[in-house]
């Protein structure tokens, strides 16, 4: 086949980090150039869900698992309608996928969606570099995009930063839509889409919730127009410090005391709505085996993460906020980062990680049940 732009076999490619470190490999997926924030994910499975998670918009994902693409690409595991990562970095891509569900190779899929990648580089060395120096901007160049290294570095250094990026509107739905309850309908939830993953409304639908997914620009009036029993704020890309609009909508929901649940970006927005700050982590949490403790029960769960920012809230004291008392409900056992918040005087809570578990372990599924319980309490 000579018609594809796919660089699979021999086209050289170069990865340039903003601090001048350079890795040389081969093109993977589309040939061309791309820029983004270099981040690493430690998940050994679930690459299809990672690629299609809108929270990865503008990020170049480095896979620490050395062998990627083994199970090809299927038509069932997409978390949204397209791949969102801006670039993809792998050590040793599988050339022959093997799964009864596989429809095409990962290489073909990346090419078809115009996602520039690189393979054949030492992803372990790259990950150690990012862990020591922190997440930073990166460019991948192949084919006609390759120039001398100094010129490429200058272009990487001109690319936009993740800090200060306001990206939800670039990935969220522009039109509201409804995900019907599976079985008997028990509740209606308004879900503000800041970059929602497909599995999230599905997990709610499985519990008898009819989910009205609303654009990121939805107002408090839009939220209450669906007459919700509960309100949900989704995951999403970008810097939570820029999310002023969803913060003010959430404050409107907290004022009314409607049951509220947030995931990831939604947790950061709850943090801000309560008056806490957010900050950028050095290299973030991305993977599917992160240990988190639920401090309300003492139980430890193994969880899926994808976040580069975190909430700055005191771990060991109850905080007084404009919406009553709040506390840190969950904490990451690797580094003590805030992984969840709960209000003590209102029915509202959130987690920084991914209980929808796509991909990842299902330990945190109880959080959707907690949301249902809050809505039941509200009706009683
Ligand atoms: N998955 C998410 O919602 C990520 C939230 C935010 N963009 C972060 O990087 O921390």
Structural domain boundaries in the chain: 12-158, 168-379
33 DSSP β-pair partners: 141
pLDDT digits (tens, 9 = 90+) for 129-138: 999 999 999 9
Dig out the tokens for 222 from the structure.
């839009």
- Residues known to be catalytic: 264, 354, 356
The Å distance, Cα 132 to ligand 1 centre, comes to 21
Domains 12-158 and 168-379 share a fold: no
Global pTM reads 0.96
What percent of the chain has pLDDT above 90? 96
| Bridge partners, 345 (sequence order) | none
Q: Which residue's CA is the nearest one to ligand 1's atom 3?
A: 235
Q: Whose CA is nearest to atom 4 of ligand 1?
A: 307
Our mutation pick for probing the ligand 1 site, out of 167, 268, 284, counting the most ligand atoms within 8 A of Cβ, is 268
Q: How far is CA 93 from CA 23, 145, 255, 313, 331, in A?
A: 17, 22, 51, 41, 35
Statement: residue 6 has pLDDT above 80? no
Round to whole Å and give the CA distance between 337 and 312.
9
What separation in Å is there between the alpha carbon of 286 and the centre of ligand 1? Answer: 10
The domain made up of 12-158 has a fold known as: Glucose Oxidase; domain 1 (3.50.30)
From 195, 265, 286, mutation site for ligand 1 pocket: most ligand atoms within 8 A of C-beta: 265
**Rounded distance from Cα 144 to ligand 1 centre (Å):** 33
Question: What number does the ligand 1 atom closest to the CA of 306 have?
Answer: 1
Q: Give the residue, by CA position, lying nearest to ligand 1 atom 7.
A: 237
Q: For residue 147, how far is its CA from the centre of ligand 1 (angstroms)?
A: 33
* 42, 64 Cβ separation under 8 angstroms: yes
Res 333 pLDDT > 50: yes
Q: What is the pLDDT of residues 58-90, one digit of tens each?
A: 999 999 999 999 999 999 999 999 999 999 999
ipTM: 0.98
Residue whose CB lies within 8 A of the most ligand 1 atoms, among 38, 39, 51, 55, for a mutation test: 55
Is domain 168-379 annotated with CATH 3.40.50.880? yes
**Structure-derived torsion over alpha carbons of residues 151, 152, 154, 159, reported in degrees to the nearest 10:** 150
The band of 3, judged by pLDDT with boundaries at 50, 70 and 90, is very low
Tokens representing residue 246 in the block: 């969803």
């Amino acid at each position: 086949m000579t018609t594809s732009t796919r660089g699979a076999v021999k086209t050289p490619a170069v990865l340039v980090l903003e601090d001048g470190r350079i890795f040389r490999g081969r093109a993977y997926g589309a040939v061309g150039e791309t820029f983004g924030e270099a981040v690493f994910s430690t998940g050994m499975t679930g690459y299809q869900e990672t690629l299609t998670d809108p929270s990865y918009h503008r990020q170049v994902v480095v896979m620490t698992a050395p062998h990627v693409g083994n199970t090809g690409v299927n038509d069932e595991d997409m978390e949204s309608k397209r791949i969102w990562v801006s670039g993809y970095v792998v050590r040793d891509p599988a050339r022959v996928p093997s799964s009864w569900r596989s429809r095409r190779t990962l290489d073909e899929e990346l090419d078809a969606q115009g996602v520039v990648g690189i393979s054949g580089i030492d992803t372990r060395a790259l990950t150690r570099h990012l862990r020591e120096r922190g997440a930073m901007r990166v460019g991948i160049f192949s084919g006609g995009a390759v120039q001398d290294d100094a010129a490429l570095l200058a272009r990487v250094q001109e690319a936009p930063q993740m800090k200060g990026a306001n990206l939800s509107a670039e990935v969220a739905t522009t039109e509201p839509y409804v995900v019907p309850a599976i079985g008997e309908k028990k509740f209606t939830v308004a879900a503000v889409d800041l970059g929602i993953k497909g599995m999230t409304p599905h997990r709610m639908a499985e519990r008898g919730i009819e989910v009205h997914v609303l654009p990121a620009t939805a107002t408090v009036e839009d939220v209450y127009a669906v007459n919700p029993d509960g309100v949900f704020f989704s995951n999403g890309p970008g810097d939570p410090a820029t999310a002023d609009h969803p913060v003010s909508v959430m404050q409107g929901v907290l004022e009314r005391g409607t049951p509220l649940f947030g995931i990831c970006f939604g947790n950061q927005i709850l943090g801000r709505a309560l008056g806490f700050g957010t900050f950028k982590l050095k290299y973030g949490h991305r993977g599917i085996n992160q240990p988190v403790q639920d401090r309300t029960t003492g139980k430890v769960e193994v969880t899926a993460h994808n976040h580069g920012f975190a909430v700055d809230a005191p771990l060991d004291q109850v905080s007084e906020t404009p919406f009553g008392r709040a506390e840190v409900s969950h904490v990451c056992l690797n580094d003590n980062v805030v992984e969840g918040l709960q209000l003590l005087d209102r029915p509202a809570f959130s987690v920084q990680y991914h209980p929808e578990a796509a991909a990842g372990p299902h330990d945190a599924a109880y959080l959707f049940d907690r949301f249902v319980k809050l809505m039941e309490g509200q009706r009683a």
